[in-house]
Amino acid sequence: MGATELLYLENLNILEVDAQVLESYIENLSNTVILNRTAFYPQGGGQPCDTGIIESNNIVNSSLKTIVKFVNKQELLGIYGFAPDYITNMGKIRVIMFGNFGIPCGGTHVPNLRDINKIIIRKIKINQGSIRVAYEVDA
C-alpha cells in the first residue's frame, strides 16, 4: 500500500477533499481508516491534530443498501482495486458493498447508508507514511 498523500503540506486553505478509503479496521477499540489522501494534520511536533467529519453526503443520501458478498482474493482485486497483504489466497473474504464500491471488512454495518447521521473524526495518527484516522459513526 502506498503512502497517504498529505495535501495540507502544499495547500494551507484546504478544508475538503475527495479521498479513497484504502483500509478500515479496529485498533485499540477505535475504528481506523486509511485514506489515499488527506487534508487532516496528524498530531506531532507539539501541534494538536486536526479534527473533523468525514462526510459522504452524496453517497449517504443516496440510501444505498449494504450488501454483503463473499469473494476470493482475485475477485476482491476486481472489486476493490487491490488486496491488502494480510488477505491470503485461501478461503472466502467478506466484502461490504455500497453500490459499486466494496471494501473487505468483518465489522458491523448499518443496513442502509441513510441510517448514518454523520462520521466524526476522533484521532489522526501518522505511521510509516500512512495516516490512520480513528472515527465514530453516528447512526
| Residue pLDDT, tens place only, 94-126 | 888 888 778 888 888 889 988 888 778 788 887
Across the range 28-57, mean pLDDT stands at 78
pLDDT at 7: 92
Q: Comparing C-alpha atoms, which of 132, 108, 106 is closest to residue 121?
A: 132
Same domain, 127 and 104: no
Q: How much of the chain is helix, strand and coil, in % rounded to 5? A: 15, 40, 45
Average pLDDT over residues 10-27: 83
What's the grid cell of residue 43? 498530531
Give the chain's domain count. 2
pLDDT at 1 (0 to 100): 58
Q: Which helix (H) or strand (E) holds 26?
A: strand 21-27
* Residue 128 pLDDT: 79
pLDDT tens digits, residue range 53-63? 777 766 777 78
CATH number at residue 42: 2.40.30.130
Cβ–Cβ under 8 Å, residues 131 and 4: yes
- For residues 105 and 97, is the Cβ–Cβ distance under 8 A? no
Residues 55 and 137: beta-carbon distance below 8 Å: no
Residue 47's domain comprises 13-54+119-139
pTM greater than the 0.75 cutoff: no
Four-point Cα dihedral 77, 80, 81, 83, nearest 10? -60
